[in-house]
Amino acid sequence: MRNADIAGLFDALANLLEIKGENPFRIRAYRRAALAIESLGKDIATISEEDLLAIPGIGKDLAGKISEYLKSGKIAAYEHLKQELPEGLLALLNVPGLGPKTVNLLYREYHVTDIDQLEKLARAHKLSKLPGIKEKTESGILKGIEMIRRYASRYPLGKVLPMAREIKEYLQANAPVGRLEIAGSIRRWKETVRDIDIICTATDPHAVMKIFTAMPDIKQVIMKGPTKSSVLTTFGIQVDLRVVDRESFGSAIAYFTGSKEHNIRLRELAVRAGLKLNEYGIFREKDDKKLGGREEEDIYTVLGLQFVPPEMREDRGEIEAAQRHALPQLVEMRDIRGDLHVHSAWSDGTLEIEELARHAAEHGYDYIALTDHSQGLGVARGLSEERLRDQIAAVNALNRRLKGFRILSGTEVNIRTDGTLDFDDMLLRKLDIVVASVHSGFKQSKERLTQRILRAMEHPQVSIIGHISGRLIGERDAYELDMEQVLDTAARTHTALEINAYPLRLDLDETYLKTAREKKVPIVISTDFHAFGQFDNIRYGVAIARRGLLEKKDVLNTLPSSGLLKKLAKTSLR
C-alpha cells in the first residue's frame, strides 16, 4: 500500500510550507489529509477519484496530487519546495523538540541551515534570546542533537522492517530468485538496525543483481557484483544482497543472521569438535567432508545443539542452554488470544467499536479490551466520565450480540503528575480492565516519576501499566525511573506491565524482562491499536518478549478472557 508514502509526503509538504511561513490553513489541510490517508484502511491506489473526494479533508487539489503520485511516484509541488529551501533545513526537523515554526524562526534570525550551527547557538544560549524560545526548549534541543548523534546510522526496526519486506516482495516478484530471506539484526528483531541484509539463491545471479540495483527508490549503487551488491535507498539505509549457492543457503543464513557474538561461540564449538564452520557450510576438519549447510537447522544439529530461534542469538546464555537441550519454550504468535490496549473512534482511534470487534475476530482473537483515553488527555479526545459510562453500556449491548468474542470494557487512564488517576474510583470499579499510563510531565525528577508510577500500581483498580518509560525509539528518550523498585512493586501488587508493541515504542524494553521474569512480574503484550491493520504489530511485541526469553505462561493475554480477568483482579489476591 502506498498510503504511508503519500501521508508522509503530505506531512513533509506541510513542514516545508510551515518553514516558509505560508498560509496556516493550507498547512493544516495537508496535515489533516495525511492523517485521513494513513488511517484509511484500504489501499489508496484502488480508490476512484470520486471516492477520494468523499474522504473528509480531501478536495480537488489534494486528490490531484494523490493521482499524480500514484502515476509518477512524485509530487511536483513537493520537489519544487524542496529546491527552494537549503537542504540542511529539512534535516533540522529531525531534531526532537524542534518543529517547523522554530526552524523558520532560526533560519530568519540566524540563518541556521544545519545541525552543527544549531548546536553552537544553543550552547551559547543564543536561542533562548529569541521570542518564544524558552531555556527549557534550548536544553531540549541540545538533548535532541545528542540523541541524533547517538543513533547516527542506526534506525528503528519499526521503520526498517517494512522497507525490508517491501524489497523482499519486490525481488520475489521481479527477479529470478530461488530462496530468499532477510537476515542480520532485522531477523533477530533487534530494536534498532544499521542496514538491511538479504540472502538469496539464484541460477542467474547477474540477472538478479541487475534488477536489484535498478529497483525504485534507490539513491546510489555502492557496489555491484555477482555474489554481493550494495545499494543506498532514498531513505538513506544501505541494503546488501548476497547470492549464495543452494547447498549453502542454510549456513549463509545462519552466518549473516548473527549475531557476531553468537557466531563466534558456534565456531568455537565447531573447532573443539574437529569441525569447521563458515558461511559455506559445516565441514569435517580432517578431510573437508561437508556435513551440512543446505538448511539452517543442519548447523545446530551437527554441533549437537537444539535449534536456537533467531531472536535469542545474542550470546546471552542460549548456547549453553541449547547444549543441554533446555532452551525455554518461547511465547509464540499463536499463543496470543487478545489485545489489551485498543483505542476506538470514541477517543483518537479510527474504528468504531463494532468494527474493532470484527477486525479483532478476523485477526483470530477471542477478546479485546477497549481502552480509550481518559478525560485529561484533550489532544487525544479523552472520554469524559459520562462518555465512559455511555461506552460501558454500548459495550454491554454489543457483547450480548457477539458470539464467541468478547469486548472487555476498559480505559487507558492518565496517571496524573501526583500519581492519582484521571477517573473516579467508583467509575474505574465498573471496568474489566484499567491500563494506567503517563502521558505528560515527562520532565519530572526520577524520584517523582518513580513515586508517581508506584502510586498508580498501588491502586486496587489498576490492572496494567502502559508503555512504562514513555520512549519513542530515535525520537524521545525514556524518562528516568528506578526500575528495580518499579518491578518489585509490580510483583507485590500483581500489577501487570505492558510490552507496548507499537513499533517505535517497544516499551517495556527487553533489558528489563530478565529481572521481570525472575521477580514474577505479570506481563501483557499489547499493540496500542489506533488504526486498521495495527493488530499485526503484535509481532513486534512478541519478538521483544522472545528476546527477553518469556514463555507462554509468563504472558497473561495468552489466557482465555475468564482466566485473564481472574489474574488481573488484584483485590481478590490481597
Q: Contact residues for ligand DGT (CB under 6 A)?
A: 184-185, 190, 193-195, 197, 255-256, 258-260, 263-264
Q: Are 220 and 294 in contact (CB under 8 A)?
A: no
Contacting range for Ca ion; rule: CB under 5 A; set: 185-193, 202-210, 474-482, 559-567: 185-193
Compute the distance between CA of residue 444 and CA of residue 465 in angstroms, rounded to an integer: 18
- In the complex with ligand DGT, the residue whose CB is nearer, 194 or 519, is 194
Neighbours of 114 (CB within 10 A): 13
Q: Where are the beta strands (DSSP E) in 273-352?
A: 275-278, 281-284, 290-292, 338-342
Q: CA 341: distance to chain centroid?
A: 15
Residue 263: which of ligand DGT, Ca ion, Zn ion, none does it interact with, CB under 5 to 8 A by kind? ligand DGT
Q: Is 372 in the site for Ca ion (CB under 5 A)?
A: no
Name every residue whose Cβ is closer than 8 Å to that of residue 285 and which is 6 or more positions away in sequence: 271, 274, 275, 276
Smallest distance from the beta carbon of 183 to ligand DGT, in angstroms?
Answer: 7
Compute the distance between CA of residue 83 and CA of residue 240 in angstroms, rounded to an integer: 30
Burial of 181 (0-12, 13-18, 19+ CB in 10 A): middle
Contacting range for Ca ion; rule: CB under 5 A; set: 189-197, 411-419, 500-508, 538-546: 189-197
Helix orientation angle between 3-20 and 24-38, rounded to the nearest 10 degrees: 160
- In the complex with Zn ion, the residue whose CB is nearer, 391 or 437, is 437
Smallest distance from the beta carbon of 373 to Zn ion, in angstroms?
Answer: 7
- In the complex with Ca ion, the residue whose CB is nearer, 22 or 315, is 315
- In the complex with ligand DGT, the residue whose CB is nearer, 315 or 480, is 315
Scan residues 196-215 and list those touching Ca ion (CB under 5 A). 197
- In the complex with ligand DGT, the residue whose CB is nearer, 314 or 482, is 314
Q: Which residue is nearest to Zn ion (CB)?
A: 437
Task: Tell me whether the omega of the peptide bond preceding residue 180 falls within 30 degrees of 0, making it cis.
Answer: no
Q: Is 184 in the site for Ca ion (CB under 5 A)?
A: yes
- In the complex with Ca ion, the residue whose CB is nearer, 184 or 382, is 184
Smallest distance from the beta carbon of 557 to Zn ion, in angstroms?
Answer: 17
- In the complex with Zn ion, the residue whose CB is nearer, 198 or 436, is 436
Nearest to 95 by CA among 81, 106, 79: 106
Compute the distance between CA of residue 536 and CA of residue 501 in angstroms, rounded to an integer: 9
Smallest distance from the beta carbon of 178 to ligand DGT, in angstroms?
Answer: 21
Residue 437: which of ligand DGT, Ca ion, Zn ion, none does it interact with, CB under 5 to 8 A by kind? Zn ion
- In the complex with Zn ion, the residue whose CB is nearer, 154 or 452, is 452
Residue 282: which of ligand DGT, Zn ion, Ca ion, none does it interact with, CB under 5 to 8 A by kind? none
Contacting range for Ca ion; rule: CB under 5 A; set: 60-68, 178-186, 437-445, 560-568: 178-186
Contacting range for Ca ion; rule: CB under 5 A; set: 180-188, 265-273, 396-404, 454-462: 180-188
- In the complex with ligand DGT, the residue whose CB is nearer, 313 or 455, is 313
Give the three cell numbers for residue 344: 476506538
- In the complex with Ca ion, the residue whose CB is nearer, 185 or 263, is 185
Smallest distance from the beta carbon of 555 to Ca ion, in angstroms?
Answer: 28
Smallest distance from the beta carbon of 215 to ligand DGT, in angstroms?
Answer: 19
Smallest distance from the beta carbon of 187 to ligand DGT, in angstroms?
Answer: 8
Q: Which residue is nearest to ligand DGT (CB)?
A: 258
Give residue 457's identity as a one-letter amino acid code: M
DSSP 425-491: HHHHTT-SEEEEE--S-TTS-HHHHHHHHHHHHHSTT--EE-STT--BTTTBPPPP--HHHHHHHHH
Burial of 149 (0-12, 13-18, 19+ CB in 10 A): exposed
Give 273's Cβ-side CA count (13 Å radius).
20
Binding site for Zn ion (CB under 5 A): 437
Task: Tell me whether the omega of the peptide bond preceding residue 259 falls within 30 degrees of 0, making it cis.
Answer: yes
- CA distances to 23, 32, 40 from 59, rounded to whole Å, are 17, 11, 16
Smallest distance from the beta carbon of 265 to Zn ion, in angstroms?
Answer: 39
Whole-angstrom Cα Rg for the chain: 26
Length of the chain (residues): 574
- In the complex with ligand DGT, the residue whose CB is nearer, 32 or 267, is 267
- CA distances to 121, 156, 218, 307, 522 from 261, rounded to whole Å, are 42, 21, 31, 17, 31
Residue 259: which of Zn ion, Ca ion, ligand DGT, none does it interact with, CB under 5 to 8 A by kind? ligand DGT
The β-bridge relationship of strands 180-182 and 195-201 is antiparallel
Residue 375: which of Ca ion, Zn ion, ligand DGT, none does it interact with, CB under 5 to 8 A by kind? none
Residue 296: which of Ca ion, ligand DGT, Zn ion, none does it interact with, CB under 5 to 8 A by kind? none
Compute the distance between CA of residue 46 and CA of residue 38 in angstroms, rounded to an integer: 15
Smallest distance from the beta carbon of 471 to Zn ion, in angstroms?
Answer: 12
Smallest distance from the beta carbon of 192 to ligand DGT, in angstroms?
Answer: 7
- In the complex with ligand DGT, the residue whose CB is nearer, 60 or 260, is 260
Compute the distance between CA of residue 561 and CA of residue 367 in angstroms, rounded to an integer: 7
Number of residues that bind Ca ion (CB under 5 A): 4
Smallest distance from the beta carbon of 494 to ligand DGT, in angstroms?
Answer: 37
Please report, as ranges, the residues that interact with Ca ion according to CB under 5 A: 184-185, 195, 197
